[in-house]
Structure 1
Amino acid sequence: MDTAEKIKAFLDSLSEPKCAEMQVLHTHILQLFPKAKLWFLDGKDETGKVVTNPSIGYGQYTIHYKDGSTKEFYQIGISSNSTGISVYVMGLEDKKYLPETFGNRIGKASVTGYCIKFKTVKDIKLDILDEAMCYGIKHTDND
Protein backbone atom coordinates (compact mmCIF):
# COMPACT_ATOMS: atom_id res chain seq x y z
CA MET A 1 0.00 0.00 0.00
CA ASP A 2 1.47 3.39 -0.97
CA THR A 3 1.31 6.49 1.22
CA ALA A 4 -1.83 7.92 -0.43
CA GLU A 5 -3.62 4.59 0.09
CA LYS A 6 -2.53 4.45 3.74
CA ILE A 7 -3.83 8.00 4.26
CA LYS A 8 -7.16 7.14 2.63
CA ALA A 9 -7.50 3.99 4.77
CA PHE A 10 -6.70 6.01 7.90
CA LEU A 11 -9.21 8.75 7.06
CA ASP A 12 -11.87 6.16 6.21
CA SER A 13 -11.28 4.49 9.61
CA LEU A 14 -12.23 7.63 11.53
CA SER A 15 -15.76 8.05 12.81
CA GLU A 16 -17.89 11.01 11.78
CA PRO A 17 -17.69 13.93 12.07
CA LYS A 18 -13.90 13.57 12.56
CA CYS A 19 -13.54 11.74 9.23
CA ALA A 20 -15.12 14.61 7.28
CA GLU A 21 -13.13 17.25 9.21
CA MET A 22 -9.80 15.54 8.59
CA GLN A 23 -10.68 14.94 4.92
CA VAL A 24 -11.50 18.64 4.43
CA LEU A 25 -8.21 19.64 6.05
CA HIS A 26 -6.20 17.05 4.10
CA THR A 27 -7.70 18.14 0.76
CA HIS A 28 -7.13 21.79 1.64
CA ILE A 29 -3.45 21.22 2.49
CA LEU A 30 -2.94 19.23 -0.72
CA GLN A 31 -4.32 22.20 -2.67
CA LEU A 32 -2.10 24.62 -0.74
CA PHE A 33 1.05 22.51 -1.22
CA PRO A 34 0.39 20.36 -4.31
CA LYS A 35 4.02 19.29 -4.74
CA ALA A 36 4.70 18.46 -1.09
CA LYS A 37 5.94 15.00 -0.22
CA LEU A 38 3.22 12.99 1.58
CA TRP A 39 3.90 11.08 4.78
CA PHE A 40 1.80 8.76 6.92
CA LEU A 41 2.93 7.80 10.41
CA ASP A 42 0.79 5.13 12.05
CA GLY A 43 1.77 6.17 15.59
CA LYS A 44 3.60 2.92 16.39
CA ASP A 45 7.21 2.52 17.45
CA GLU A 46 9.60 -0.07 16.00
CA THR A 47 8.14 -2.77 18.29
CA GLY A 48 4.59 -2.09 17.08
CA LYS A 49 3.50 -0.38 20.31
CA VAL A 50 1.18 2.60 19.84
CA VAL A 51 3.06 5.66 21.15
CA THR A 52 1.19 8.54 19.51
CA ASN A 53 -1.84 9.31 17.35
CA PRO A 54 -1.43 8.57 13.63
CA SER A 55 -0.48 11.62 11.57
CA ILE A 56 -0.43 12.76 7.97
CA GLY A 57 2.56 14.83 6.92
CA TYR A 58 3.33 17.24 4.09
CA GLY A 59 6.67 18.49 2.81
CA GLN A 60 10.13 17.47 3.90
CA TYR A 61 12.97 18.96 5.89
CA THR A 62 16.04 17.67 7.66
CA ILE A 63 16.15 17.55 11.45
CA HIS A 64 19.70 18.14 12.68
CA TYR A 65 20.38 16.63 16.10
CA LYS A 66 23.05 17.83 18.54
CA ASP A 67 25.00 14.58 18.14
CA GLY A 68 25.42 15.35 14.43
CA SER A 69 22.85 12.84 13.20
CA THR A 70 20.00 13.83 10.89
CA LYS A 71 16.52 12.62 10.08
CA GLU A 72 14.10 13.47 7.29
CA PHE A 73 10.66 14.51 8.52
CA TYR A 74 7.55 16.35 7.43
CA GLN A 75 7.19 20.14 7.67
CA ILE A 76 3.42 20.20 8.33
CA GLY A 77 1.48 17.43 10.03
CA ILE A 78 -2.14 16.82 10.98
CA SER A 79 -3.46 14.46 13.59
CA SER A 80 -6.84 13.55 14.97
CA ASN A 81 -7.15 13.33 18.75
CA SER A 82 -9.91 12.80 21.29
CA THR A 83 -10.70 16.51 21.58
CA GLY A 84 -10.22 17.62 17.97
CA ILE A 85 -7.46 18.14 15.45
CA SER A 86 -3.83 19.16 15.80
CA VAL A 87 -1.79 20.84 13.06
CA TYR A 88 1.97 20.62 13.58
CA VAL A 89 4.31 23.21 12.09
CA MET A 90 7.68 21.52 12.45
CA GLY A 91 11.23 22.81 12.53
CA LEU A 92 10.71 26.41 13.57
CA GLU A 93 13.60 27.86 15.58
CA ASP A 94 11.55 30.59 17.29
CA LYS A 95 9.04 28.78 19.53
CA LYS A 96 7.26 32.07 20.34
CA TYR A 97 6.49 32.97 16.72
CA LEU A 98 3.34 30.86 16.16
CA PRO A 99 1.55 31.78 19.41
CA GLU A 100 2.52 35.46 19.22
CA THR A 101 1.72 35.87 15.52
CA PHE A 102 -1.33 33.64 15.08
CA GLY A 103 -2.68 32.87 18.56
CA ASN A 104 -4.99 35.89 18.78
CA ARG A 105 -6.05 35.83 15.12
CA ILE A 106 -6.78 32.19 14.31
CA GLY A 107 -10.02 31.75 16.24
CA LYS A 108 -10.87 29.12 18.86
CA ALA A 109 -7.55 27.27 18.98
CA SER A 110 -4.66 26.77 21.34
CA VAL A 111 -1.34 27.66 19.72
CA THR A 112 2.04 26.51 21.05
CA GLY A 113 5.53 26.74 19.59
CA TYR A 114 4.75 24.09 16.99
CA CYS A 115 1.10 23.00 17.38
CA ILE A 116 -2.26 24.55 16.55
CA LYS A 117 -5.04 22.57 18.23
CA PHE A 118 -8.76 23.09 17.65
CA LYS A 119 -12.02 21.20 18.04
CA THR A 120 -13.38 21.69 14.52
CA VAL A 121 -12.31 23.45 11.32
CA LYS A 122 -15.33 25.75 11.74
CA ASP A 123 -13.73 27.14 14.93
CA ILE A 124 -10.72 28.60 13.12
CA LYS A 125 -9.97 31.06 10.36
CA LEU A 126 -8.61 28.85 7.60
CA ASP A 127 -6.76 31.73 5.94
CA ILE A 128 -4.81 32.34 9.17
CA LEU A 129 -4.01 28.61 9.43
CA ASP A 130 -2.78 28.80 5.82
CA GLU A 131 -0.57 31.74 6.74
CA ALA A 132 0.94 29.78 9.65
CA MET A 133 1.55 26.67 7.52
CA CYS A 134 3.08 28.71 4.68
CA TYR A 135 5.39 30.39 7.20
CA GLY A 136 6.43 26.95 8.44
CA ILE A 137 7.14 25.64 4.95
CA LYS A 138 9.12 28.77 4.06
CA HIS A 139 11.21 28.78 7.24
CA THR A 140 12.30 25.18 7.46
CA ASP A 141 15.35 23.56 5.99
CA ASN A 142 14.37 22.20 2.58
CA ASP A 143 17.64 20.56 1.65
Structure 2
Amino acid sequence: MSVAEQIKNYIAAQPEPKRSDLQALHDLVLEIMPNGRLWFLDGKDESGKTVANPNIGYGVQTMPLAGGKSREFYQIGTSANTTGISVYIMGLKDKKALVEKFGKKIGQASVTGYCIKFKALQNIDVGTLADAMRYGIEQTRR
Protein backbone atom coordinates (compact mmCIF):
# COMPACT_ATOMS: atom_id res chain seq x y z
CA MET A 1 0.00 0.00 0.00
CA SER A 2 1.37 3.42 -0.94
CA VAL A 3 2.02 6.13 1.66
CA ALA A 4 -0.81 8.22 0.15
CA GLU A 5 -3.21 5.26 0.57
CA GLN A 6 -2.07 4.68 4.16
CA ILE A 7 -2.73 8.36 4.93
CA LYS A 8 -6.14 8.25 3.28
CA ASN A 9 -7.09 5.12 5.26
CA TYR A 10 -5.80 6.59 8.53
CA ILE A 11 -7.83 9.77 8.12
CA ALA A 12 -10.93 7.82 7.04
CA ALA A 13 -10.70 5.62 10.15
CA GLN A 14 -11.02 8.60 12.52
CA PRO A 15 -14.39 9.47 14.07
CA GLU A 16 -16.03 12.76 13.15
CA PRO A 17 -15.32 15.61 13.69
CA LYS A 18 -11.66 14.56 14.03
CA ARG A 19 -11.74 13.04 10.53
CA SER A 20 -12.76 16.32 8.92
CA ASP A 21 -10.20 18.28 10.96
CA LEU A 22 -7.38 15.88 10.01
CA GLN A 23 -8.41 16.07 6.34
CA ALA A 24 -8.45 19.89 6.51
CA LEU A 25 -4.98 19.84 8.11
CA HIS A 26 -3.73 17.42 5.46
CA ASP A 27 -5.02 19.73 2.73
CA LEU A 28 -3.47 22.77 4.44
CA VAL A 29 -0.02 21.20 4.73
CA LEU A 30 -0.18 20.03 1.11
CA GLU A 31 -1.03 23.61 0.12
CA ILE A 32 1.93 24.95 2.11
CA MET A 33 4.37 22.34 0.77
CA PRO A 34 2.84 20.87 -2.40
CA ASN A 35 5.97 18.95 -3.37
CA GLY A 36 6.86 17.78 0.13
CA ARG A 37 7.65 14.16 0.77
CA LEU A 38 4.82 12.26 2.48
CA TRP A 39 5.44 9.93 5.42
CA PHE A 40 3.20 7.59 7.36
CA LEU A 41 4.42 6.15 10.65
CA ASP A 42 2.05 3.55 12.05
CA GLY A 43 3.23 3.98 15.66
CA LYS A 44 4.60 0.44 15.96
CA ASP A 45 8.12 -0.63 16.85
CA GLU A 46 10.15 -3.37 15.13
CA SER A 47 8.30 -6.08 17.05
CA GLY A 48 4.87 -4.75 16.02
CA LYS A 49 4.06 -3.31 19.45
CA THR A 50 2.19 0.02 19.44
CA VAL A 51 4.46 2.61 21.05
CA ALA A 52 2.99 5.88 19.72
CA ASN A 53 0.02 7.32 17.88
CA PRO A 54 0.27 6.98 14.09
CA ASN A 55 1.71 10.10 12.40
CA ILE A 56 1.39 11.68 9.00
CA GLY A 57 4.60 13.47 8.06
CA TYR A 58 5.37 16.10 5.44
CA GLY A 59 8.65 17.31 3.96
CA VAL A 60 12.12 16.06 4.75
CA GLN A 61 15.05 17.27 6.81
CA THR A 62 18.26 15.76 8.08
CA MET A 63 18.18 15.50 11.85
CA PRO A 64 21.40 15.08 13.84
CA LEU A 65 21.59 12.10 16.19
CA ALA A 66 23.95 11.24 19.01
CA GLY A 67 27.42 10.12 18.03
CA GLY A 68 27.61 12.38 14.98
CA LYS A 69 25.11 10.35 12.96
CA SER A 70 22.03 11.76 11.26
CA ARG A 71 18.80 10.58 9.69
CA GLU A 72 16.05 11.89 7.47
CA PHE A 73 12.78 12.77 9.15
CA TYR A 74 9.71 14.85 8.38
CA GLN A 75 9.45 18.58 9.03
CA ILE A 76 5.73 18.75 9.91
CA GLY A 77 3.67 15.95 11.40
CA THR A 78 0.03 15.49 12.35
CA SER A 79 -1.54 12.89 14.59
CA ALA A 80 -4.88 12.15 16.17
CA ASN A 81 -4.72 11.60 19.91
CA THR A 82 -7.29 10.74 22.57
CA THR A 83 -8.25 14.37 23.22
CA GLY A 84 -7.81 15.92 19.78
CA ILE A 85 -5.00 16.52 17.31
CA SER A 86 -1.28 17.20 17.60
CA VAL A 87 0.79 19.08 15.02
CA TYR A 88 4.52 18.48 15.29
CA ILE A 89 7.00 21.03 14.01
CA MET A 90 10.20 19.04 14.04
CA GLY A 91 13.85 20.06 14.14
CA LEU A 92 13.56 23.51 15.69
CA LYS A 93 16.77 24.47 17.45
CA ASP A 94 15.11 27.16 19.60
CA LYS A 95 12.69 25.23 21.84
CA LYS A 96 11.01 28.46 23.01
CA ALA A 97 10.24 29.81 19.53
CA LEU A 98 6.80 28.24 19.01
CA VAL A 99 5.54 29.35 22.40
CA GLU A 100 6.95 32.87 22.07
CA LYS A 101 5.97 33.48 18.43
CA PHE A 102 2.61 31.70 18.22
CA GLY A 103 1.42 30.63 21.69
CA LYS A 104 -0.63 33.72 22.53
CA LYS A 105 -2.18 34.03 19.05
CA ILE A 106 -3.17 30.44 18.31
CA GLY A 107 -6.22 30.12 20.57
CA GLN A 108 -7.18 27.11 22.68
CA ALA A 109 -4.06 25.03 22.21
CA SER A 110 -1.18 23.69 24.22
CA VAL A 111 2.10 24.82 22.66
CA THR A 112 5.47 23.25 23.55
CA GLY A 113 8.92 23.30 21.98
CA TYR A 114 7.77 21.28 18.97
CA CYS A 115 4.07 20.42 19.39
CA ILE A 116 0.80 22.32 19.04
CA LYS A 117 -2.04 20.27 20.52
CA PHE A 118 -5.72 21.19 20.34
CA LYS A 119 -9.15 19.62 20.64
CA ALA A 120 -10.57 20.82 17.31
CA LEU A 121 -9.68 23.21 14.49
CA GLN A 122 -12.61 25.44 15.46
CA ASN A 123 -10.80 26.19 18.74
CA ILE A 124 -7.68 27.65 17.14
CA ASP A 125 -6.64 30.29 14.63
CA VAL A 126 -5.79 28.17 11.59
CA GLY A 127 -3.87 31.07 10.00
CA THR A 128 -1.57 31.19 13.02
CA LEU A 129 -1.11 27.41 12.83
CA ALA A 130 -0.19 27.76 9.13
CA ASP A 131 2.30 30.53 10.04
CA ALA A 132 3.86 28.25 12.69
CA MET A 133 4.21 25.47 10.12
CA ARG A 134 5.78 27.83 7.57
CA TYR A 135 8.18 29.04 10.27
CA GLY A 136 9.19 25.46 11.08
CA ILE A 137 9.67 24.58 7.42
CA GLU A 138 11.87 27.63 6.90
CA GLN A 139 13.97 26.78 9.97
CA THR A 140 14.63 23.23 8.75
CA ARG A 141 14.96 23.85 5.02
CA ARG A 142 17.92 21.99 3.53
TM-score normalized with structure 1 length: 0.96
Q: Is the 8 A contact 1:62 1:141 kept in 2?
A: no
Alpha-carbon offset, residue 31 of structure 1: 1.2
Q: Tell me how far apart the structure 2 counterparts of residues 24 and 73 of structure 1 sit (CA, whole Å).
A: 23
Q: Tell me how far apart the structure 1 counterparts of residues 76 and 22 of structure 2 sit (CA, whole Å).
A: 14
Q: Is the 8 A contact 1:62 1:73 kept in 2?
A: yes
- 3-state SS of paired residue (2:68): coil
Does the alignment pair 1:108 with 2:108?
A: yes
Q: Could you say what the CA RMSD is over the residues aligned between the two structures, in angstroms?
A: 0.8
Does the alignment pair 1:50 with 2:64?
A: no
Aligned to 1:138: 138
Q: Where does the alignment leave 5 or more consecutive residues of structure 2 unmatched?
A: none
% same residue? 55
Alpha-carbon offset, residue 141 of structure 1: 4.7
Which residue type is aligned with residue 12 of structure 2? D
Q: Tell me how far apart the structure 1 counterparts of residues 66 and 48 of structure 2 sit (CA, whole Å).
A: 27
Q: Tell me how far apart the structure 2 counterparts of residues 77 and 59 of structure 1 sit (CA, whole Å).
A: 9
Q: Tell me how far apart the structure 1 counterparts of residues 66 and 40 of structure 2 sit (CA, whole Å).
A: 26
TM-score normalized with structure 2 length: 0.97
Which residue type is aligned with residue 137 of structure 1? I
Aligned to 2:3: 3
Alpha-carbon offset, residue 70 of structure 1: 1.1
Show the 5 A alignment for 1:1-143: 1-142=1-142
Alpha-carbon offset, residue 19 of structure 1: 1.0
